[in-house]
């Protein structure tokens, strides 16, 4: 058991920024900054319904998940060519490396692009090349997770899986995202069973806005290994016990939850309660270009709002490596690096 040495409260924010960490919940289309949206719109001659970067940023005032998704899908319409996907992912990975992210598992939404006539190879090859270059140039490792859009049909998810079949060596797993309410995990039972047979890792968004029942069915019907968000688990004591006992990771996104009004204020966020109940919670940015900050901003703001300590900081970074889909030796290496960092820091 690693004993976390004392860290002065005034140095905690510095520790949060400097400690090595993994990011496991980042939608790459949600890392498109308004400046890059405008640059790509110009490069690809795509019209935008906003006059300027500032006007677009002004539109980023959300009341719930759907109000965000409408703008997020519109922003993704500027992505047409392999180089566009490369530029987007390369920019995110450079930014993540600045936040001392040692490893990232990156979501992408192929149906958002194939519906506009962009081939799935264009999407996956551009993202994959950015991951390879970031590994050699920045020393950050990363893998891709293909997400099915849950507001579309299971037949559409199967069609997407079929299109991705020749490229499966470039992805580590599949996920489920988009509008949660009214689209329970069990709608995708067959396609997730097929992905499991193919040896892919499985994750799903559940319990972001949706009820604890969606977390239960993500676990028991889809058989996912991690829950994305999962903050509504707090309303079901039996579920909390199951998540703690089985060390099912939750990829929590504090600034996203604040901006989409899941919690009225960061002060009310339940991250600390989830950790103190023994759950394998992690901190992530979700859609950093839309929610006001990358991973370190999520760490520093939620810690400032909820009075967490160096012990929580260590636990969150440890959990991020434990919950990753990295091979065991690389996990051990990153955990050893984290422990050495905290010792040297204290």
Q: Which residues are catalytic?
A: 208
Residue 46 CB-half CA count within 13 A: 19
CB closer to Zn ion, 12 vs 127: 127
CB of 93 to Zn ion, least distance (A): 18
Task: Give yes or no for residue 183 binding ligand ADE (CB under 6 A).
Answer: no
Of positions 23, 82, 99, 177, contacts ligand ADE by CB under 6 A? 177
Closest contact distance (angstroms) between CB of 150 and ligand ADE is: 8
Residues 48-67 that bind ligand ADE (CB under 6 A): 65
- Alpha-carbon distance of 186 to 166, in angstroms, equals 26
By CB under 6 A, tell whether 178 contacts ligand ADE.
yes
Distance of closest approach, residue 55 Cβ to Zn ion, in angstroms:
25
Q: Closest Cα to residue 280, out of 230, 252, 244? A: 244
Applying CB under 6 A, does 105 fall inside the site for ligand ADE? no
The nearer residue to ligand ADE, 160 or 178, going by C-beta atoms, is 178
What's the rounded Cα separation, in Å, for the pair 216 and 242? 9
Among 170, 183, 201, 205, binds ligand ADE (CB under 6 A): 205
Which is nearer to ligand ADE, 75 or 126 (by Cβ)? 75
Q: Which is nearer to ligand ADE, 65 or 275 (CB)?
A: 65
CB of 5 vs ligand ADE, minimal distance in Å: 35
Of the residues 174, 286, 288, 312, which one makes contact with ligand ADE according to CB under 6 A? 286
Radius of gyration of the chain (CA): 19
Considering CB distances under 5 to 8 angstroms, the limit depending on partner class, which of ligand ADE, Zn ion, none binds residue 212?
Answer: none
- Quickly count: other Cβ atoms within 10 Å of residue 171's Cβ: 20
Which H helix or E strand runs over 341?
helix 328-345
Q: Any contact of residue 287 with ligand ADE (CB under 6 A)? A: yes
Residue 270: C-alpha distances to residues 5, 38, 282, 316, 322 (Å): 25, 36, 12, 14, 21
Closest CA to 128 of 85, 186, 65: 85
Q: Least distance in Å: CB of 214 to Zn ion?
A: 14
CB of 286 to Zn ion, least distance (A): 5
Tokens of 52: 């300027």
E strands in the chain: 21-27, 101-108, 141-149, 173-177, 201-206, 226-229, 250-252, 281-283
Instruction: Based on the shown chain and the rule CB under 6 A, indicate whether residue 131 belongs to the binding site for ligand ADE.
Output: no
Question: Based on CB atoms, which residue is closest to ligand ADE, 28 or 342?
Answer: 28
Nearest to ligand ADE of 29, 87 (CB atom): 29
**166 CB-contact burial (10 Å; exposed 0-12 / middle 13-18 / buried 19+):** exposed
Query: Could you tell me which residues come within 8 angstroms of residue 39 by beta carbon, excluding any fewer than 6 positions away?
Result: none
Cα separation, 229 vs 91, whole angstroms: 24
Q: Which of residues 252-311 bind Zn ion (CB under 5 A)?
A: 286
Q: Do 231 and 252 meet the contact criterion of CB atoms below 8 Å apart?
A: yes
Contacts to Zn ion by CB under 5 A = 286
Contacts to ligand ADE by CB under 6 A = 27, 30, 65, 72, 177-178, 205, 208, 256, 286-287
């Amino acid at each position: 058991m690693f004993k976390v040495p004392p860290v002065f409260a005034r140095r905690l924010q510095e520790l949060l920024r400097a400690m090595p960490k993994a990011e496991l919940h980042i939608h790459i289309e949600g890392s498109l900054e308004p400046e890059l949206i405008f640059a790509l719109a110009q490069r690809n001659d795509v019209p935008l319904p906003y006059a300027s970067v500032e006007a677009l940023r002004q539109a980023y005032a959300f009341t719930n998940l759907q109000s965000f998704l409408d703008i997020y899908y519109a922003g993704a319409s500027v992505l047409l060519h392999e180089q566009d996907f490369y530029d987007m992912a390369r920019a995110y990975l450079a930014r993540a490396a600045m936040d001392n992210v040692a490893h990232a598992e990156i979501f992408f939404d192929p149906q958002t692009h194939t519906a506009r006539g962009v081939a799935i190879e264009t999407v996956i090859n551009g993202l994959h090349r950015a991951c390879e270059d970031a590994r050699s140039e920045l020393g950050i490792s990363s893998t891709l997770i293909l997400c099915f859009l849950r507001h579309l049909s299971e037949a559409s998810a199967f069609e997407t899986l079929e299109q991705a079949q020749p490229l499966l060596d470039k992805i580590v797993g599949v996920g489920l995202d988009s509008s949660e309410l009214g689209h329970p995990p069990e709608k995708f039972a067959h396609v997730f069973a097929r992905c499991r047979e193919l040896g892919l890792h499985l994750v799903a968004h559940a319990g972001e806005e949706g009820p604890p029942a969606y977390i239960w069915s993500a676990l028991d019907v889809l058989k996912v290994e991690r829950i994305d968000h999962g903050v509504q688990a707090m309303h079901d004591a039996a579920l909390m016990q199951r998540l703690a006992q089985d060390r099912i990771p939750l990829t929590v996104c504090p600034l996203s939850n604040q901006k989409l009004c899941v919690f009225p204020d960061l002060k009310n966020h339940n991250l600390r309660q989830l950790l103190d109940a023994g759950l394998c919670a992690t901190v992530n940015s979700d859609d950093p270009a839309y929610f006001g900050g990358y991973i370190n901003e999520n760490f520093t703001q939620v810690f400032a709002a909820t009075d967490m300590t160096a012990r929580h900081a260590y636990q969150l970074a440890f959990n991020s490596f434990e919950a990753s889909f990295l091979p065991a030796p690389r996990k051990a290496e990153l955990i050893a690096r984290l422990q050495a960092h905290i010792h040297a820091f204290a």
